[in-house]
Amino acid sequence: MQLSTVLVAVLAAAASAAPTAPKVIIHDARSAVDSLGSLSGYFNTLAAKALAAKIANKSAICDLSKASMPLAPEALPVPSSGLSLRHVAVGRGTQNYTCDTSNPSSAPTAAGAVATLFNASCVAALYPDLLETIPGMAVHFDISAAQQLGPTGLVESGVHYFTNATTPFFNVQTLGQEIGQAPCRKNSTSPAPSGAAVGQQGEAAVPWLQLTTRDGATGGMKEVYRLTTAGGTAPATCEGLDETFQVEYAAVYWFWAE
């Protein structure tokens, strides 16, 4: 897709969305190439899926048993026996860090994350190839005031934050129905695949994770996976950075329950 075609598609989607629709944020050449490449792939795939649905002339039925997580062999443990996929969401927010400003050569320290979750369950079940392109696109949209994820049309389905330094927390609900709450601990980690989408200023993708729930989880929630990450990685050192700072990221979260 040519650059002009991409921009027309973006502008058309923004015009038809709510007034708070996100805008593209591009800060450098590497980020621009990654953003436009992700947008091009997304809109090409979206057009193909829309055409296929029109030809089929029938309503799609979402069946999460047909969704398949993109786990590379031995990258992360597979979900435990007896669990089923309950929800899939695209998370869009920030990875948060602190710095020892008295020691500029020191590495930043991770200090949790904050993200809005957007319901991607039907996309995961029906169009996994489309789902794979969304984080690389979404990381380049400012969603601070949006209730849907830009041109994807995905609507909010929860929030993600940390309740303390070691407890990532997810509150997942969609269409007014609570799916579950999941205080978690990190169980396993794997580097993001080579070629994973970069962030707004070329930041590398944060690792893929498997989380297990702590006491207090509801809705039968047992395991959460953070996959298909885009951006979020801190610079190597604290040189020139503030005591606290954030790095934009996006990811796909997979929620498994009893």
Long-range contacts of 244-248 (CB under 8 A, 24+ apart): 244/96, 244/97, 244/98, 244/99, 244/111, 245/96, 245/97, 245/99, 245/108, 246/94, 246/95, 246/96, 246/97, 247/94, 247/95, 247/97, 247/199, 247/203, 248/93, 248/94, 248/139, 248/199, 248/200, 248/203
The predicted pLDDT at position 212 comes to: 98
Q: What is the mean pLDDT of residues 31-39?
A: 50
Full DSSP string of 173-234: EETTEEEEEEEEEEEEEEPPPTTPPP-TTSPPBPPEEEEEE-TT--TTEEEEEEEEEEEBPP
Considering only 52-66, 106-120, 142-156, 234-248, which range has the smallest mean pLDDT?
52-66
The residues near 195 (Cβ < 8 Å, ≥ 6 apart) are none
Question: What's the per-residue H, E or C state across 13-31?
Answer: HHHHCCCCCCCECCCCHHH
Kindly report the number of other CB atoms within 10 A of residue 176's CB atom: 5
Q: What is the mean pLDDT of residues 119-129?
A: 89
The predicted pLDDT at position 14 comes to: 34
Top pLDDT among 102 and 18 is at 102
The predicted pLDDT at position 54 comes to: 53
From residue 79, alpha-carbon distances to 84, 154, 185, 242 in Å are: 8, 25, 15, 39
Share of the chain above pLDDT 70, in %: 75
Mean pLDDT of the chain: 82
Place 129 in a pLDDT band, splitting at 50, 70 and 90. Answer: confident
pTM, 2 dp: 0.83
